[in-house]
Amino acid sequence: MTQHFSHRLAQYAALTKPRVTQLAVFCAVIGMFLATPDLPDWRVVIAATIGIWLLAGAAFAVNCLVEMEIDARMARTARRPSAQGEISRTQILIFSALIGGAGMGILYFFVNFLTMWLTFVTFVGYAVIYTIILKPATPQNIVIGGLSGAMPPALGWAAIANDVPMQAWLLVLIIFVWTPPHFWALAMYRRDDYAKSGLPMLPITHGLAFTQFHVWLYTIALFATTLLPYAVHMSGLIYLVSAVLLGAAFLWYAWRIYKHYDDILARKTFTFSIVYLSLLFAALLVDHYYKF
């Protein structure tokens, strides 16, 4: 009985895509700390983290619901409980509504209305606009829909400051520009999977060479974008040095993808891109408290 309950719980947890959610929530927490010159109220940090986590998980659960048949055709996603039919559509919908509603309630009562509203709009942007409308319609889905995935720093900032100033939107812009080279690296080495899915991903609709070039272009744009926090005096030398070193490494990966592509390199680039974003935002946090 206990083993069955644990297995069922793990299945529902898998619907929230924990690894992706963790990175999003991490960026939101960084936004919370950057929103104040002092340490933020730990009670608000905990409440906002839980609320944002629950709504992000609800959005990913809806994604699993909408893409059940697509996931079943792809090796990368075929083991998801939704794709295997172990959890029904109704159960997923109820689960998403419950954790999403709980997240909104926590944000409303323990954080502020602005954060609740922005997080709900982000939920709609990902679960509806990106998953249902954009993803099956255009190979630019990840570019246009990337805004919803880039919102966590703004959500975290709003939780502490009850405002979303220009500095918060700079962090959103960084993730927005980071998303295409990050995701297209995955799409390139998983192109056979995406061909089976029927989704119009860029390597399928425009070919590898076109995608390789755009990974290179977006990585150049990303390098320039990450210098903006220093340019507007939001951050200091610790962040600047970190951004330049991390950006140089990303450019090196992107250049090799552009000139000497292979699937192993694309996989390594995808993995590095996650480490890159985590370290970049960690550098923002360190710089915030030890600026010189």
Quick check: 5 pLDDT over 80?
no
d(Cα 94, Cα 108) in Å, to the nearest integer? Answer: 21
Residue span of the structural domain in which 280 resides: 165-292
- Lowest model confidence (mean pLDDT) among 17-21, 120-124, 195-199, 264-268: 195-199
Please state the rounded mean pLDDT for residues 56-76.
88
Confidence class of residue 46 from pLDDT cuts 50, 70 and 90?
very high
Quick check: 1 pLDDT over 70?
no
d(Cα 179, Cα 186) in Å, to the nearest integer? Answer: 11
Please state the rounded mean pLDDT for residues 117-146.
87
- Asked if 153 and 187 sit in the same domain, the reply is no
Confidence class of residue 292 from pLDDT cuts 50, 70 and 90?
low
Per-residue model confidence (pLDDT) at position 132 = 85
- Asked if 69 and 123 sit in the same domain, the reply is yes
Quick check: 70 pLDDT over 90?
no
- Asked if 150 and 6 sit in the same domain, the reply is yes
pLDDT tens column, 189-236 = 998 888 888 888 899 999 999 999 999 999 999 999 999 999 999 999
Per the document, the length of the chain is 292
- Asked if 138 and 193 sit in the same domain, the reply is no
Quick check: 128 pLDDT over 90?
no
When computed from its CA atoms, the radius of gyration of the chain, rounded to whole angstroms, is 19
pLDDT tens column, 247-271 = 999 999 999 999 999 999 999 999 9
Q: Could you tell me the pTM of the whole model?
A: 0.94
- Asked if 33 and 148 sit in the same domain, the reply is yes
Distances (CA, A) of 17 to 204, 213, 233, 242: 25, 29, 36, 29
- Asked if 130 and 175 sit in the same domain, the reply is no
Contact (CB, 8 A) for 179 and 142? yes
Per-residue model confidence (pLDDT) at position 133 = 85
- Asked if 133 and 197 sit in the same domain, the reply is no
Identify the residue whose tokens are 């083993």.
3
